[in-house]
A and B are shown apart, each in its own frame.
Chain A
Amino acid sequence: MSSKSDITLHINGHDHAIRVEPRRTLADAIREECGQTGTHIGCEHGVCGACTVIVDSAPVRSCLMFAVQAAGKAIRTVEGLADGEAMHPMQRAFMDHHGLQCGFCTPGFLMLAVSVLEREPDIGDDDLVDVLSSNLCRCTGYQNIIKAVRAAAAEMRRK
């Protein structure tokens, strides 16, 4: 076995001091070493996007990044979206518009959509569909995910 490194992951404003092998993916480290199981693993080869988290303001497939690469960076996961009891507009919109069914891909879609809208609040409809086609959902047929993200975008712009 290869040697382990001591690193600190900053997740949702909290520091997690962990020891991981260099090959440990960020997704595994978030879930197992840091106990944040809201981030899901769907394919481990960077296609489905279920494991999407935000690293230093960019959406990242955490199965394609090593934990050591994320050391010291600001990581946001689905657990950090709500402000206490107050849900993020994206979370509310997914519930209001039935943008989820089984809920497995949902954390990845939420983080993808939030990070894109934070960077590009006025993104056009076609570009939005382009971005959302980065992730896979097997339940919703995407209709209501698109609807939810558009509604949340409007609300995030109002704020």
Chain B
Amino acid sequence: MTAHTKGSGTSWVGRSIRRLEDPALVTGHGRFTADLAAAHWVRFVRSPVAAGRIDRITAPPSTHLITAADLKALKPIRPMLHKFNYIPVGQPILADGVVRFTGEPIAAVYAPAKDEAEDLADLIEVDISETAALIDGPTALREGAPLVHAEAPGNVIVEGRITTPGFDEVWTGAHRVIRVDGRSHRQNATPMEARAGHAVYDAASGRVTLTCTTQMPHLVRTAIADILGLPEHDLRVIAPDVGGGFGQKMSLAPEYVLLVWLARKLRSSVAWTEDRRENLIAGFHSRDQHVTLEGAFDANAKLIALSADIVANVGAYSCFPTTCGVEPLMALAELPGPYDVRAYASRSRGVLTHTCPMAPYRGVSRPVITLVLERLMDKAAAAFGIEPTEIRRRNLIDSFPYTSATGLVFDDGTYQQTMAMAIDAVDLAGFRRRQTDARNRGRHLGIGFATFSERTGYGSPAFAARGMEITPGWETVHLTIDPSGFVEARIGSSPHGQGLRTALAQIIADEIGIDPQHIRVVHGDTDRTPYGWGTFASRSLVISGGASLLAAQKMRAKLLKLASHMLEAATDDITLASGTAQVIGTDRTITIAALARAAYHQTHVFKGAIEPGLTESGSYDPSGTFSNACHVAIVEVDIETGRVEVERFVVAEDAGLIINPMIADGQVHGGVAQGIGNALLEEIIYDETGNILSGTLADFLPPTAHEIPPIDMHHIETLTGNTITKAKGLGEGGAIGAPAAVINAINDALSPFGVSIEEMPATPQRIRAALRSSGRPA
């Protein structure tokens, strides 16, 4: 591949170059946390019940047992929000007298081998006096319900309300009100690599190195140093190759705190590898929300007011750093979605229960609110007797910047255009004919649309608006060209499958005229990278990309200055391309490697006019930007069995300038697949006592290649002015839109039966139950 300079029309940005990450990963040379050997293996003893008092923990003599009594000097995990009546509750590293969810760590044992530690854990006897368990949000809200934490009356840990001025007048003027009782059951992000940690003490320095499966190594270091009362420099955190995260790995695992504590105590190396059952029952859950939504429409099917009551079952504790407010508060702020509606009244509560704590999962709340809002649109369309796409056409925002009823500012987007593109792609009119023919033959096809926005790349003010004590908005990139001419970009973000190394190298390459293959992006090591927040919230390409661009622009300026001295030409007359600086229109050139060598070894040449070395830094804290998309699912429902087959899926999306189209499409594919899984298959099921019934991958069902149809991708690139790279994030959109599109398609297929399915996953059982209760059973 040849390099081209920026502005030549064939820049690195915009090209589907192969990922720089891949050679190691396809040859088995990736390095994952569980690959490390340790002197001691840790196994956690976990609560077999959801709620109770710990009476006694007994172990065979000479067992290496750790309980809460050993950890009295450690602070609990206690993230903080300064708004929305948030009540800070603490999570002890090991349950201290009380257990609050099935799977909560009660004790830890260690042994020289992993299987020995597992054997030992089985010998630990825990006597627990069980108490009544609260499993779902509405039950926990009932008058007189037991309290999960004494300091949170009514089990409400966070509550936000919004009522726009004049709401009641608008509401009473409605022509028609449509209601949706939306429900997302509990899910688990299920990265293929479960969590793992490895901590090793270095006697020479007194430091501990924690290698772990995290999306945010710097924040893990801060949190553990705070909990243990250490200076941060006594701890190094490494996120090596991380096997997917999807949000589950952006919250602090109490298990990691114990590993660091134990490595210091033993002055040795200790490791823990989570098994799949632990991950499914205790590795953070997600999506558990009830949303009751009412929409008021005028006679022209224009949405004039929205009213919502949101209850998020956040589980037993609050996750660090976002707090459990992340689900209910995002729902509160973003529920009106991409629709132009000025009157909005909403209450959103986070409710404590005796279940595994919830944490962000790809899309955070928006898959649920999009499901509910898109059901509302389809139900309203049916009530008005118009196509679902027509009601969206009348209501989607279409002039920018648009300030929403909750004060969010939408930058340029293509809500109408992407929907039109999707309608063309699926041939809506043709589909309706096919649907009618199929119905006449007893087959039930349906089409479902979801139009939505994806708020991405938002900086620290957006987090501050939520009242977060920690506002993970900005990123810093340190860019160095070494004396050999190779480039190293050290970033605070922490990618784990997104191909960010490749995409950032493309951005940097265009600025400094060096091929991406010669640019090494270093991440996931607090000793090697500047402080930063990690990779989550569709932020890294936008924010680390912006910081990379700023650092690279400074580097470009310095290279031009060096070249100007060495080539005796004005900086404006010099280009940087293919590793060479050239005076335009001449054959006077010097390699960038020679410039780099001179910047370190021949500084006298510059007579003090240029600082020695070649390191530049960029930091970026953007205001945020909205990507948008229209998803369409075509499904067939077998009304006798309730089985749903997704026949086709279409995505028309706009995420601004696409840096690497191959990687961008891959992100959308993965998100859509997770969304289809959410819509049809995946459910963490508790019984009424709080025991989990879905503790294996044969019970909790991520989709296979069989369940995911071909995904047709269509793009518009609206160059946003809200980011300096013109790019928007797109990591979550696939998962945000797909559930709504699939559920709407199921409802469209079932429209002859007059049922409305408003919950996910829409399992065969739920579909059959809806059909049976319809009065027109199939």
Contacts and interface: CB of A to CB of B under 8 A. Distances in A.
Interface in A38-53: 38-45, 47-48, 50
Contacts of A139: 192, 244, 497, 666, 670
A95 B192 contact: no
Contacts of B32: 37, 40, 104
Contacts of A143: 666, 669, 708, 710-711
B27 A37 contact: no
B646 to A, nearest CB: 12
Given A101-B498, A138-B192, A39 B674 contact: no
B27 A81 contact: yes
Contacts of B190: 138
Nearest to A108: B192
A102 to B, nearest CB: 3
A133 B711 contact: no
Contact of A42 (B25, B30, B192): B192
B293 to A, nearest CB: 29
A132 B707 CA distance: 12
B137 to A, nearest CB: 27
Contacts of A115: none
Nearest to B193: A104
Interface in A6-57: 21, 23-24, 28, 31-32, 36-45, 47-48, 50
Interface in B21-40: 21-32, 34-35, 37
Which residue, B24, B28, B244, B499, has most C-beta atoms of chain A within 10 A? B28
Interface string B92-118: 000000000000000000000011100
B48 interface: no
Nearest to B194: A42
Contacts, number: 171
B704 A133 contact: yes
Interface in B699-728: 702, 704-706, 708, 710-711
Contacts of A96: 18
Interface string B487-515: 00000000011110000000000000000
Contact of B246 (A42, A48, A133, A138): A138
Contacts of B543: none
Contact of B28 (A79, A101, A134): A79
Given A42-B193, A140-B669, A101 B708 contact: no
B671 to A, nearest CB: 8
Interface string B669-686: 111111000000000000
A141 B673 contact: yes
Interface residues of A, number: 57
Contacts of A105: 192, 243
A37 B192 contact: no
A102 B26 contact: no
A87 interface: yes
Interface in A116-159: 129-130, 132-146
Given A44-B275, A133-B705, A144-B666, A98 B19 contact: yes
Given A104-B32, A141-B708, A42 B276 contact: yes
Contacts of A87: 23, 26-27
Interface string A91-106: 1001110101111111
A137 B706 CA distance: 12
Given A96-B18, A98-B19, A136 B192 contact: yes
Contacts of A42: 192-194, 276
A129 B703 CA distance: 13
A39 B498 CA distance: 21
Nearest to B699: A47
Range, interface on chain B: 35 or more
A95 B666 CA distance: 12
Given A31-B35, A37-B35, A136-B192, A102 B243 contact: yes
Contacts of B702: 136, 138
Contact of A146 (B35, B242, B671, B705): B705
A78 B28 contact: yes
B241 interface: yes
Contacts of B570: none
A29 to B, nearest CB: 12
A1 B498 CA distance: 43
A156 B542 CA distance: 40
A62 interface: no
A123 to B, nearest CB: 14
B499 to A, nearest CB: 7
Interface string B54-67: 00000000000000
Interface in A58-102: 77-79, 81-82, 87, 91, 94-96, 98, 100-102
B29 A38 contact: yes
Given A95-B18, A101-B497, A138-B670, A40 B27 contact: no
B191 interface: yes
A133 B246 CA distance: 21
Interface string B166-210: 000000000000000000000000111110000000000000000
Given A133-B705, A136-B702, A138-B191, A102 B497 contact: yes
A85 to B, nearest CB: 10
B669 to A, nearest CB: 4
Nearest to B662: A98
A141 B709 CA distance: 9
Nearest to B279: A43
A96 B268 CA distance: 43
Nearest to A105: B192
30 contacts: A37-B32, A40-B32, A42-B192, A43-B276, A45-B276, A45-B696, A47-B697, A78-B26, A87-B23, A87-B27, A95-B18, A95-B19, A95-B22, A100-B26, A101-B499, A102-B241, A102-B242, A102-B497, A103-B22, A103-B25, A103-B241, A104-B191, A104-B192, A104-B241, A134-B704, A138-B192, A139-B497, A142-B673, A142-B705, A143-B711
Given A50-B192, A136-B192, A138-B244, 6 more contacts: A24-B115, A96-B18, A98-B666, A105-B243, A138-B192, A138-B246
Per CB-CB distance, the 10 closest pairs between chain A and chain B, nearest first, are A38-B28, A104-B243, A102-B497, A103-B25, A141-B673, A141-B669, A78-B28, A101-B497, A133-B704, A37-B35
